[in-house]
Amino acid sequence: MKKIISVLIASALLSACTVVPESNRASTARSTAPASSGAVATRLPAPVAAHPQDRQCLAQLTDTGAQFVPVADAYLGEGCSTVGTVQLSALRSDATRLSLSNMGPVQCGVGAAFAAWARYGVDRAAQQILGSPLQRIETMGSYACRNVAGSSRRSAHATAGAIDIAAFVLEDGRRISVLQHWHGGSAAEKEFLRTVQRSACRRFATVLGPEYNAAHRDHFHLEGVMGDSSFCR
Ligand SMILES: [Zn+2]
Task: Share the mean pLDDT of the chain.
Answer: 84
Distance (angstroms) between ligand 1 centre and the Cα of 27 equals: 37
Provide the pLDDT confidence category of residue 221 given band limits of 50, 70 and 90: very high
Provide the pLDDT confidence category of residue 25 given band limits of 50, 70 and 90: very low
CA distances from 18 to 50, 100, 137, 166, 228 (A): 9, 26, 30, 35, 34
Residue 92: closest CA among 70, 126, 61, 55: 61
Assess whether pLDDT exceeds 50 at residue 1.
no
C-alpha–C-alpha distance, residues 41 and 169, integer Å = 46
Distance (angstroms) between ligand 1 centre and the Cα of 106 equals: 12
Q: Give me the pLDDT at residue 228, please.
A: 74
Query: Alpha-carbon torsion 178, 179, 183, 187, what sign?
Result: negative
DSSP-based three-state secondary structure for 169: strand
Assess whether pLDDT exceeds 60 at residue 14.
no
Lowest mean per-residue pLDDT among 45-49, 78-82, 125-129, 147-151: 45-49
The most confident of the ranges 1-15, 40-54, 125-139 is 125-139
C-alpha–C-alpha distance, residues 49 and 4, integer Å = 22
Assess whether pLDDT exceeds 50 at residue 20.
no
Distance (angstroms) between ligand 1 centre and the Cα of 125 equals: 22
pLDDT higher for 226 or 21?
226
Domain ranges of the chain: 1-50, 51-232
What is the mean predicted confidence (pLDDT) over 165-177? Answer: 98
Assess whether pLDDT exceeds 80 at residue 43.
no
DSSP-based three-state secondary structure for 89: strand
For 207, phi then psi, to 5°, come to: -130, 120
Longest dimension (CA), the chain: 72
Q: Give me the pLDDT at residue 42, please.
A: 47
Distance (angstroms) between ligand 1 centre and the Cα of 188 equals: 25
Q: Give me the pLDDT at residue 54, please.
A: 86
Residue 26, judged by CB atoms within 10 A of its CB (0-12, 13-18, 19+), counts as exposed
C-alpha–C-alpha distance, residues 84 and 82, integer Å = 7
For 13, phi then psi, to 5°, come to: -60, -45
Distance (angstroms) between ligand 1 centre and the Cα of 93 equals: 24
Q: Give me the pLDDT at residue 230, please.
A: 84
For 132, phi then psi, to 5°, come to: -145, 140
Residue 81: closest CA among 162, 25, 158, 155: 158
- What percent of the chain lies above the pLDDT cut of 70? 79
Distance (angstroms) between ligand 1 centre and the Cα of 141 equals: 8
C-alpha–C-alpha distance, residues 195 and 10, integer Å = 32
Provide the pLDDT confidence category of residue 21 given band limits of 50, 70 and 90: very low
